[in-house]
Amino acid sequence: MQFYRKEQAKMKALIEKRAKLMAELDAMEIELETRTAEQADVETMQAKIAEVKEIDAQIEQQKETRNLKNTKEMKVEEINMETRAMLLEGKEVEVRGMTKTNVKGEQVQNGALVADRAKELGLKDFARIEKFNGHSIVPVQKAKMGKLVKAGELTEIAKKDILVEQVDLRPEKYSLLTVVSEELLNDASYDVEGLIREEGNQAIDETIEGMIAETLNNATEVVEVSPKAEGVIALEDVTNLFFGLNAKYRKNAIFVVNDEHLKALAGLVGTDGHPILVRDLVNGMQFKLMGRPVVLCEDIENMMFTDLEKAVVAGVGANAQVKRSDDAFFTTGGIAFRTTVALDCKPAITTAIAKLG
């Protein structure tokens, strides 16, 4: 018990330190929007980013150590109980540890699982996400009051209605069935159920990402910007797309591109001869274009510039369910895990979307 308390305290300290560093990085990024970054600024940010990555590595190592310890203790207890029962019945007992012998008689040590990388996501980090348990209504303001007008003595004061419509989020069930073999689940070298839960969360995120992209692709009443040439992105197109969006949406807008768009942007240079696509100092794998984030999404058909928080509303079920069944694939020696969640995605203020093409 004392060991776990120490581990929890250490984990808490690491998380708090990471949060503080990220807050400092965010503050520096906001400050650099108002002035040109100097070499000292870049070095300071790189040092903080390196420290964050080191903390992330320590956190992951602690998680892995804790999972392996829990799994090992559970397996030892199960083996001891089975061994006692078999000995009492007079049966032959085979005891095997984590180190196994193959057909050549060589000693084989189980290593850590080499897991596939999760898909790079980004759209859901900018869209409005609503947690819901059932039918949910989100009011959306379609028209603002506008400016005051000069009131004449005997003239009727001009009037303008504030238009508010509603977006209905209706839960639809999305599910995924994952089947693993009993041998894999019983292998003590890593936590398969933990892997299933993590993969389930990633699958939900990818589904939401695809729904947001589909909503953007099919949105009507968006700002259409005609390209200079068919199938080619020019510097003029990027400028027209940026200024095509109403000024009130530009401050929080993002560029949404697919891989082909990103390749085209990488080859463009501004009037000063420098590339217009630059690395984000805080997020090493991200880009910025005209000072705004660039989000890569393979499901996007046309390059867009959008205030995604105003353009799209996504509903996600408050609780995702992961259920296990030992009977569904009994004849084939498989164990099934069903991941289920309620999702919906609807357009909101579509004038906050500027689309090229």
Residue 142 near residue 163 (C-beta atoms within 8 A): yes
Q: What is the pLDDT of residues 256-314, one digit of tens each?
A: 999 999 999 988 888 888 888 888 766 656 888 988 999 999 999 999 999 999 999 88
Average pLDDT value for the chain: 77
Average pLDDT on 42-62 reads: 84
Pairing between β-strand 304-306 and β-strand 254-257 as defined by DSSP bridges: antiparallel
Distance of alpha carbon 234 from alpha carbon 162, whole angstroms? 39
User: Which pair of structure tokens corresponds to residue 199?
Assistant: 């993969």
Rg of the chain's alpha carbons, rounded to an integer?
27
Residue keyed to tokens 């238009």? 163
Query: CA 101, 106, 110, 115: dihedral to nearest 10 degrees?
Result: -120
Q: Which residues are registered as beta bridge partners of 180? A: 335
**Cα distance between residue 46 and residue 44, in whole Å:** 6
| CB-based contact 198:186 (threshold 8 Å) | no
For the chain, percent of residues with pLDDT exceeding 90: 19
Task: Provide the pairing of β-strand 107-109 with 99-101.
Answer: antiparallel
Task: Quick: pLDDT tens for 69-97.
Answer: 655 444 544 555 555 555 455 555 444 44
Model pLDDT, residue 242: 94
User: pLDDT: is 126 or 98 the higher one?
Assistant: 126
Q: Where are the domains of the chain?
A: 1-96, 113-357
- At 190 the pLDDT is 62
User: What residue spans of the chain are helical by DSSP H?
Assistant: 2-32, 39-88, 182-186, 192-218, 235-244, 247-250, 259-266, 308-311
Name which CATH class applies to 113-357: alpha beta
Asked whether residue 230 carries a pLDDT value surpassing 90, the answer given is no
Give the pLDDT confidence score for residue 29 in this predicted structure: 77
For 340, the token pair is 């289920």
Per-residue pLDDT at 243 exceeds 90: yes
